Structure 1
Amino acid sequence: MSTSTENTAHLTERTALLEALDERLRWLSAWTVHNANNIREKRDGLKVGGHQASCSSMTAIMAALYFHALRPQDKVAVKPHASPVLHAIHYLLGEQTREKLESFRGLGGAQSYPSRTKDTIPVDFSTGSVGLGVAITAFSSLVQDYLIAHGQMRDEDAGRMIALMGDAELDEGNIYECLIEGYKHDLRNCWWIVDYNRQSLDATTADRMFRRFDDIFETCGWRVITLKHGKLLREAFARPGGRALEEWIENCPNADFAALTYLGGEAWRERLMKDIGRKRGVAALLASYDDPALARLMTNLGGHCIDTLIEAFDRMDDERPTLLIAYTVKGYGLPLAGHKDNHSGMMSTAQIEGLRADLGIGEGQEWDKWAGLGENLAGALEAFIADSPIAGKRREHRAPAIKLPEHLPVPKGESLSTQAAFGKILHDLAKTDSELADRIVTTAPDVTQTTNLGAFVNQRGLFRRQELADVFQRSKIPSAQKWSAHGAGQHIELGIAENNFFLLLASLGLSAQHFGTRLMPVGTVYDPFIARGLDALNYGCYQDARFLLVGTPSGITLAGEGGAHQSINTPLIGMGQPNLDSFEPAFADEVVLMMRHAFERLQAEDGASVYLRLTTRSIAQEERQDALWEEGALKGAYWLRKPAAGADAAIVYCGAVAPEALEAWETLRDDLPGIGLLGVTSPDLLHRDWSAARAARWNGGKRSVSHVERLLGQLAPGAGLVTVLDGSPAALSWLGAVRGQRVSPLGVDRFGQTGDLIDLQRTYRLDAEAIIDAVAELFLPD
């Protein structure tokens, strides 16, 4: 047998096996959803949900990708609604259990959408918030390039970062923000594969859009491959009458194509004969297919043709970023194929039983991996899967911890802002040759200078794969920025797009698990604009990426820039965001303490990301008599001025309003001997600890005493509290619930305005006079 004949036979056998896997994945994903909604007991009477149609449009793509194209070092973000297909793949690989599939969308079962932290199968990227799971693959590719340039990884070990996406995700703005950033950083080793079924949740997609994606992506340096027609269609096009059929398909509106797909072969024949039946060769061509065969022909799109898919994957053998648009039918192979309501629609019991019968799967064999396939084919599939590259895929790495200095130096200065302290700490670290300094990677969305990262970048440089000269420096033009760009640089500069910023932080924060090298990501952003990237921040925290987020400057202390730049509710964001420890230090030594603590938390098995809310307001620094305050500060609060036992009042402050709180305390201490001054460094940790202590008895544990209870327990039972911070008063007003104490909450609860700090603090009742008045109100009769 010739080599050519052998290769053809091998490819034919591979195609047959992949087609069998495509069919099996379609069945298992459909049955998983059906079982959850129609067989498993519903105690609450609610629909469980699932997306059979969205799964079936992806099964051929995922079969060809996972069992043909995917290499051990590649990583994949799977579109959210194809989660059951991913679970089915790992079920066939022996990495998912039947029990988990039977509990799909139930407590402890396979998750609705792929989750790194909640699923037990290997998941490279969590997906769920549309578009973010796509864009993060580009930033993970950039992180991989960073590690290669820094000698932490070999170029030959580079993997492809792959996103499987629904076509509706191309409507998400963050996709195009990412595309532009990728172009600036010379993105490579990234595939985005579009399940182009032309149906979204509410309707079919616009006909004109597919012609624009090519232009947009090619302009940004991507190769675009469109797989519109499968092998059967291409063969039909080559026959007499085929050219007319091809032209008709090219001009068929998406809605018409979907409706005809649902109606089936007879409807296809009637419509085609009406539109092009009189053209030469068309009638004979259509007559050569019976109705079922004609329906198969007309839906033989590129995304369902294994031969077409593996040929495309084999061509994508370089590092150029590639957009693969695979035309598909939503609900392909199912009775609801093409119906406009099929996004959340499900097969009836009669329909799924009919599908089972067509596949030769006996009743009671629904969960058997190879039911109905016969012993020979089942054995061949087992061997094929065991020999596929995905079977040797690298799982999560366990990177060693980075050694930290015992202490970080406290910046000198009688008066400092927390933002300035942060910049000085990083700069001092940058001048050392410590492992910590070498593993820090900073980033910012075009606010590097104004968030005090400039000195670190001067010391460590910008990261670029290709060296980029500083034209101003070369021309001897004086500038405080001496930002050389080279492969050893440790700052990744971004444009003004907060979604990109948080996705890069998430990618950097997953470096240990993805690539085996732990990095210390530090990202700075104007505090009010955390809200602009909040979805991406939540996404990064959900998959337990570890990073240090610095929101600065914050609050109305950014007086001159007005309400647009004055954050209000970010303390509440810090309190409400899981997997993120939030701190708001007031003094430079607190910043030092919290940064070192953050570097520990980023590495701990049960750790988290950390958020520091900082300010540009320079305040007089506190002279410490000892280090006893540090433990309390890391738990969320400590007495800056201890109260007398049984004191009747305390002022509670957080962050930049410390001077006003101190001034008010100084004024009141003669009239209210023993009044306390409580510095809250983390409303987040205080509240979490208090809530956990209260919940302990309901969770089977012993009722413990929280840190805030111990602190407030030093006051009289009926003592009053005045809480004050440069942000939403709700971040501290809950303190009255700890021991049933009266609270007078001060803070910012409306949009800010321009003005100097003195005027604004008086307007928003954050000055010492307002605090004194609030304390006095505590003692007025009701």
Structure 2
Amino acid sequence: MNITALSYSPTTPAALMTTPAALIESAERDIALQQIEKRVLWLATSIVHHANKVRPNTSGVKVGGHQASSASMTTIMTSLWFEQLRAEDRVSVKPHASPVLHAINYLTGQLGEEYLTTLRQFGGLQSYPSRTKDPDAADYSTGSVGIGSTAPIWGAMSRRYTETLTGCPNRGRQYSLVGDAELDEGAIWEAVLDASVQDLGEIVWIVDLNRQSLDRVVPNIAAGKIEKLFDAAGWQVITVRFGRRLESLMARPGGDSLRRRLLEMSNPEYQRLLRCAADDLRQRLPGAGVDAAAIGALIADVDDPTLLAAIRNLGGHDIDALRRAYAEIDDTRPSVIIAYTVKGHGLPLEGHPQNHSSLLSVEQYEQLAASLGENAAAPWSRFTVDSAAGLICTAAAERLERPTIQTSAPPEVPTDLGRTPTGIATTQAALGRALLDLTRVAPEAARRVVTVSPDVSSSTNLAGWINKVGVWSTEERRDWFDDDRETMLHWRERPSGQHIELGIAEVNLVGLISELGATWSRWGETLFPIGTIYDPFVERALEPWSYGMYAGGQSILVGTPSGVTLAPEGGAHQSIKTPSIGLEQPECLSYEPAFVVDVEWALLAAMGQLGRPGGKSAYLRLSTKPIDQKLAAVPEDPAARERRRRHVVAGAYVLRAVDQPAVQIATMGALVPEALAAADRLADQGVAAEVVCVTSPGLLFEALQARRGLGEGPSWILDQVFPVGRAVPQVTVIDGHPHTLAFLSSINNVPARNLGVSGFGQSGDIDDVYRHHGIDTDSIVRAALDVKI
């Protein structure tokens, strides 16, 4: 099946409406839509007003909200929801327009009146659209500028990927409503420019070009520059500059001069015109250029109300202009509609340079009510069901009603692949080996695995896996090196492939795996997304990945290679703080395995958490350091092996036990050989040292919190690995910041020395670098002798 042949079938507004709404005459429908637009503006403004001016505020802290940012979006969102959207479409709403979304959901019966007074209240409407926390429907969580805007790109890609599993087309447009200042975020352009995006014709962005940011009118926001950037990326660009009133004025003699004047005018100068009374506007609008006389003559015979209305009649506030723009979308490539708007449109603070966070006063709110024909004392009215506006709202609700998602249980993931490696190996290489073994042991689970890399597939040891499963593409492409005997990594691109390769942009990687990890709740198809990334760059990707978890995405991120163990690469490629990420990141497991079998057990445990209510994401920190796998001393007895596995996935196990320990060395990952060597040397001095291999500091900390009544969950692992009856002074050592393991001593309140990396790294061989940071065997021995005194 060539899924790229499928396209979005545009429909006319009338065809989108069910009877009797479809019987409404065109002119009557436009009037009704304008009524809906005004009601949406009123409700969105009232939601923020009530939260700040009506609801009691006992703390004195400003509640906040964005009335002006909402106002610039009311026409765009009214035209989308009440004419264009289908049930299969999805929309990412710009963060500061959340009140508009709630107003629309209220008018279509998706949100109860009791919630309209709860904006930013505990348990109420969230500050920004939230897919998991709002009481009404939000397709995408937004709020972190730039991330929510790009999410529909990765949503489109993940949706297409599920089509390859089911064989059934499951396509709808993926809209993103973006503020123009949001385009300053680098994440926007990283996503727009990725080569894989050009085939996704269902993507439609609408840029709210209001020329303002939080602090000011931005002088250099230029539609022309934005158009060129999107066009260069291969997107279809549709610009909606002016509405019907302004276009009709420009159709008169002298109109070409007015058009040139407005297009060449700076953003601040245009915004100033919006604050002018009619007499002042007539003085300022012609300017001092060669077109001044023609413009002056043009507007001389225009009455004041018409002139004032026309100058602010931009395309983003004209439903018919927007309707024509939607009709131009060709659905063969991503499209962007650049819609000129006015921030605060229709409000008393319209066009003011500092209106971003401004709130209407009570007096201004009452004036707005009078101008819109609303009741300030009873603001939450809907349209009567038999009115034209009411019929359109009912029709929209029926058209946008979605079937209940039937979620099926994820395929069973085994807990053990049955191998016991004995040679020299790295934890990084173990990842690809485990995925290949999974295709043999559990093919149904393996079919749901999708790996993603930002151009680091081969250097993160996925070559064997990619050769086995192929590379996902919207269509099959020829591998021109397939017959080259010296080519070890075969790049076979086809719709059935299970690896997705992106460009070098970590934000794109985590955005995609987050959306792949949400398909179980979006469309009832479970995937096991695994992204590989160089560990030093996990921090670069952390905020968008964290936001993906907040939005309900469940995925696995593998950081490799890690730590100063990557000695020759130097400080720029040596991660220091990443071990604490898993300790601190909500809804995320973390593992730093020391051995190949630990990697397999941790990976399978992490996969077993994906694609289900209450599931968690996972972060695995792996290394390229070769380690003798016999040091793992994996028990041969099946019951003892299973006990070891349970300890590994619970956070720690005793790697070397002694009868009466004098000191305990707790280590993690690549430093296990140094810890074992230190224990041997201490034994030669008559000091019995027990060695504990920590696999997950985060799970151990959760267990400790639970034991203290500060959290929920099991704490048995502490009794097994850190029993109070064997409590002794402790040394912790880690290839990362020492605070990650420093809390272990508080389990039994023992003296401790915490070794780790707290400064930037530098190039060298491992011995020199370890010695420099004080994590070598000598340092461990000295610390053990010191703490034991």
Written as runs of structure 1 = structure 2, the 5 A alignment for 1:215-614 is 215-272=228-285, 275=288, 279-280=293-294, 282-283=296-297, 285-290=299-304, 292-316=305-329, 318-370=331-383, 375=384, 379-388=387-396, 390-394=399-403, 398-405=407-414, 407-410=416-419, 412-430=421-439, 434-474=443-483, 476-614=484-622
The one-character-per-residue Cα deviations of 1:663-683 (angstroms, maximum 9, x if unpaired) are 222232465665422211101
The answer as to whether partners of 1:99 and 1:109 remain within 8 angstroms in 2 is no
Separation of aligned partners in 2, 1:184 and 1:363: 47
1:83 corresponding residue in structure 2: 98
- Is structure 2 residue 637 aligned with structure 1 residue 624? no
Q: Determine the C-alpha separation between the residues in 1 that align with 2:72 and 2:129.
A: 17
Find the counterpart in structure 2 of residue 147 from structure 1.
162
Distance apart, 1:704 and its partner CA = 8.2
* Alpha-carbon distance in structure 2 between the residues aligned to 1:676 and 1:428: 33
Instruction: After superposing the two structures, state which structure 1 stretch, 740-749 or 759-768, moved more.
Output: 759-768
2:212 is equivalent to residue 199 of structure 1? yes
The code of the aligned residue for 1:654 comes to M
Shift of 1:607: 1.2
Q: 2:254 and 2:403 mapped to 1: Cα distance?
A: 50
SS class of match (2:458): coil
Is 2:115 the counterpart of 1:100?
yes
Distance change in 2, residues 1:677/1:316 (3 Å): same
How far off is 1:288 after superposition?
Answer: 2.6
Shifted more, 186-195 versus 355-364: the winner is 355-364
Write the distance in 2 (CA, Å) between the matches of 1:309 and 1:659. 65
Change beyond 3 A, Cα 1:502–1:103: same
Report the residue type matching 2:698 in the other structure: D
Instruction: Name the residue aligned to 2:43.
Output: 28
Mapped partners of 1:305, 1:52: distance in 2: 19
Aligned with 1:472: secondary structure? coil
Q: Which stretch has the larger CA shift, 411-420 or 27-36? A: 411-420
Matching residue of 1:170: 183
Residues 118-137 of structure 1: matches in 2 within 5 Å?
118-137=133-152
Q: Displacement of 1:317 after TM fit?
A: 5.4
Relative to structure 1, the CA distance from residue 66 to residue 602 in structure 2 (aligned partners, 3 Å threshold; closer, same or farther) is same
Q: In 2, distance between residues paired with 1:182 and 1:103?
A: 43
2:666 paired residue number:
652
762-771 vs 324-333, which moves further:
762-771
Question: What is the TM-score normalised by the length of structure 1?
Answer: 0.93
Q: 1:257 deviation in Å?
A: 1.1
1:332 CA displacement:
0.2
Distance across 1 between alignment mates of 2:292 and 2:340: 28
Give the 3 Å change call, closer, same or farther, for CA 672–25 of structure 1 in structure 2.
Answer: farther
Greater shift after overlay, 27-36 or 207-216? 207-216
TM-score, length-scaled by structure 2: 0.92
3-state SS in 1 of match to 2:511: helix
- Unpaired runs of 5+ in structure 2? 1-13, 15-20
- Structure 2 vs 1, CA of residues 13 and 288 (structure 1 numbering), >3 Å: closer, same or farther? same
User: Is the Cα contact below 8 Å between 1:141 and 1:188 reproduced in 2?
Assistant: no
Are the structure 2 counterparts of residues 207 and 267 from structure 1 closer, same or farther at C-alpha, using a change threshold of 3 Å? farther
**CA distance in structure 2 between the aligned counterparts of 1:672 and 1:15, rounded to whole angstroms:** 90
Q: Secondary structure at the match of 2:246?
A: helix
Letter in 2 for 1:585: P
In the other structure, the counterpart of 1:71 is 86
Q: Against the structure 1 CA distance between its residues 381 and 643, is the aligned structure 2 distance closer, same or farther, given a 3 Å change threshold?
A: farther
Query: For residues 487 and 437 of structure 1, what CA distance do their matches in structure 2 show?
Result: 16
Alpha-carbon deviations, 1:677-723, whole Å to 9, x = none?
A: 22111011111232244344xx8x9x985643664333556x31100
- Is the alpha carbon distance of 1:315 and 1:587 closer, same or farther for their aligned partners in structure 2, counting shifts above 3 Å? same
Aligned to 2:18: none
Q: For 1:395 and 1:209, locate their aligned partners in 2 and report how far apart those are by CA, in whole Å.
A: 43
**Alignment size in residue pairs:** 762
Q: What's the CA shift string for 1:630-678, capped at 9, x where partnerless?
A: 2222221122233547x54211111111111112222324656654222
Do the aligned partners of 2:558 and 2:621 also contact (CA within 8 Å) in 1? Answer: yes
Task: Tell me how far apart the structure 2 counterparts of residues 460 and 327 of structure 1 sit (CA, whole Å).
Answer: 46
CA deviation profile, 1:242-271 (whole Å, cap 9, x unmatched): 222222212221101111212343332221
Cα distance, 1:311 vs structure 2: 2.1
Task: Please say if residues 524 and 549 of structure 1, whose CA atoms lie closer than 8 Å, have aligned partners that are also in contact.
Answer: yes
Aligned-pair identity in percent equals 39
- Does structure 2 conserve the Cα–Cα contact (< 8 Å) formed by 1:416 and 1:620? yes
Per-residue CA distance 1:114-147 (angstroms, 9 max, x = gap): 1112112122111111111122211222222223
Distance 2:215 2:55 in 1: 28
Structure 1 counterpart of 2:232, which letter?
Answer: T
Mapped pair 1:738 → 2:753: no
SS of the equivalent of 1:753 reads: coil
CA distance in 1, matches of 2:411, 2:518: 15
SS in structure 2 at match of 1:255: helix
**What's the offset of the Cα at 1:491?**
0.8
Find the partner of 1:772 among 772, 776, 781. Answer: 781
Structure 2 counterpart of 1:236, one-letter code: L
Equivalent in the alignment of 2:7: none
Amino acid in the other structure paired with 1:114: P
Query: Against the structure 1 CA distance between its residues 278 and 522, is the aligned structure 2 distance closer, same or farther, given a 3 Å change threshold?
Result: closer
- 1:184 offset after TM fit, Å? 6.2
Q: Judging changes above 3 Å, is the alpha-carbon distance between structure 1 residues 673 and 250 closer, same or farther for their aligned structure 2 residues?
A: closer
SS in 2 for 1:392: coil
Contact 1:648 1:716 in 2 (8 A): no
Aligned to 2:697: 683
What amino acid is the match of 2:76?
I
Q: Distance in 2 between matches of 1:201 and 1:591?
A: 46
Say whether the 8 Å CA contact 1:410–1:425 is kept in structure 2. Answer: no
The SS at the match of 1:638 is strand
- Residue identity in the other structure for 1:579: E
Q: Is 1:690–1:709's contact at 8 Å kept on the other side of the alignment?
A: no
1:708 aligns with: 718
Query: Residues of 2 paired with 1:94 and 1:8: CA distance?
Result: 22
Instruction: Give me the whole-angstrom Cα distance separating, in 1, the residues matched to 2:277 and 2:693.
Output: 71
Contact 1:690 1:707 in 2 (8 A): no
Cα deviation 1:351-373 (Å, max 9, x = unaligned):
01111122222343112234xxx
**Structure 1 residues 596 and 359: alpha-carbon distance in aligned structure 2, compared to 1, 3 A threshold:** same
CA distance in 2, matches of 1:779, 1:513: 53
User: Is the 2:90–2:139 contact (alpha carbons within 8 Å) kept by the matching residues of 1?
Assistant: yes
Q: State how far apart, in whole Å, the 1-side matches of 2:294 and 2:777 are.
A: 91
1:111 maps to amino acid? Q
Go from structure 1 to structure 2 and tell me whether the alpha carbon gap of 1:118 and 1:480 turns closer, same or farther (over 3 Å shift).
same
Q: RMSD of the alignment, in Å?
A: 2.5
**Structure 1 runs, 4 residues or longer, greater than 6 Å off:** 6-9
Counterpart-to-counterpart distance in 1, 2:350 and 2:240: 19
Q: 1:716 to 1:517 in 2, by over 3 A?
A: closer
- Taking the aligned partners of 1:429 and 1:481, their CA distance within structure 2 comes to 20
Is the 1:643–1:714 contact (alpha carbons within 8 Å) kept by the matching residues of 2?
no
Give the Cα separation in 2 of the matches to 1:399 and 1:502.
Answer: 25
